[in-house]
Amino acid sequence: MNYNMKRRVAALLAVPALLFTAACGSDGGGSGESAGGVAQVKGKVGAKPEISVPKDAEPSKKTVVETVSEGSGSAIKASDFVRLDWTVEKWEGAQELGGTWATASGEKTPRRQSVEQIGKASQQMPGKVLDALKGKKPGSRILVQGTAGDLLGKSLNPSSGISANDVLIWVVDPVGAASVDAKAEVKGEQAAPEAGMPEVSAPSQKAATITIPKGAKAPKELKEQVLIKGDGKKVEAGQALIAQYTGVKWEDGKKFDSSWDHGGATAFQIGTGSVVAGWDKGLVGKNVGDRVLLVIPPSLGYGANPSSELAKNTLVFVVDILGTA
């Protein structure tokens, strides 16, 4: 659901990638005892890490997982949604391959970060790197060092210039985490649509049915309505927002996407330009537990991307806000 995420190091993975991501004693999370050097990491959590490798040392022949700095709170569990920062470098030549730290932010816009679900396939990070976060706490800094062949496996792109024997150093900072059931949905009495707004029927455990007003012209500005009012915390820009959603085109009423068609609850960073502007404008400031109806004109949807098949469409979404991280 990350509509506008920019590609960073797509060449490294054989699958499309949107973004890419050292220290003392081992956590025991590696694939055996290290038989060589391990990268060192300096810098505070919350700032870009400084990575260095021991001079004239050969890297460990085994994958190494280390906690550089330990955070607080509840440990990250399998299937948790996690918001995180990361960087990845190549051992030889200290070549940085990408990460979230390079993303710029304006004075009022939080920096873009990655949002992932532990145990789910990622277009940004290898599964073994994400799995290394299980049992760690938000606010920690984690080192994962291993060969590209071990960490990326079959997803390593042979045209990337990275060989299976090249050693990669990942430093990952999980910022926040939340557990939300894939089948979760907002409950409560739903308000009738306001004048000119689509009608919504939201059957349990299924994509919503959204009916466009007959003969009505699509609005030229963002329209929004809270159909069910929640009592959770307000959604803040920069957070990971966990949601169920259904989207249809105003022009023909046809569904083009729904979280229910992709395994249920999903998450993305809100308020950073990582999704269409209509989501950023319409969902920041809403509450966990809200069901929100959005009508998004092309200028706040895909209008700036003429190659998108939805560039000229007004988009209508129903979004259940289930949690934040």
The segments of the chain whose pLDDT lies below 50 read 1-26, 28-34
Q: What is the pTM of this model?
A: 0.87
What is the model's pLDDT at position 27?
A: 54
Strand extents, DSSP E, 136-262: 141-147, 167-178, 199-201, 209-211, 223-228, 240-249, 255-258
Q: Give the Cα separation of 202 and 321 in Å (integer).
A: 14
Rounded Cα–Cα distance for residues 317 and 202 (Å) = 12
Q: What pLDDT shows up at residue 157?
A: 84
Residue written as tokens 């085994």? 62
Compute how many other C-beta atoms are within 10 angstroms of the C-beta atom of residue 105: 12
Q: How much is the pLDDT for 277?
A: 97
CB contact at 8 A, 280 and 184: no
Residue 74 pLDDT: 94
Q: Which amino acid is at 276?
A: V
Q: Residues 213, 197: contact at Cβ < 8 Å?
A: yes
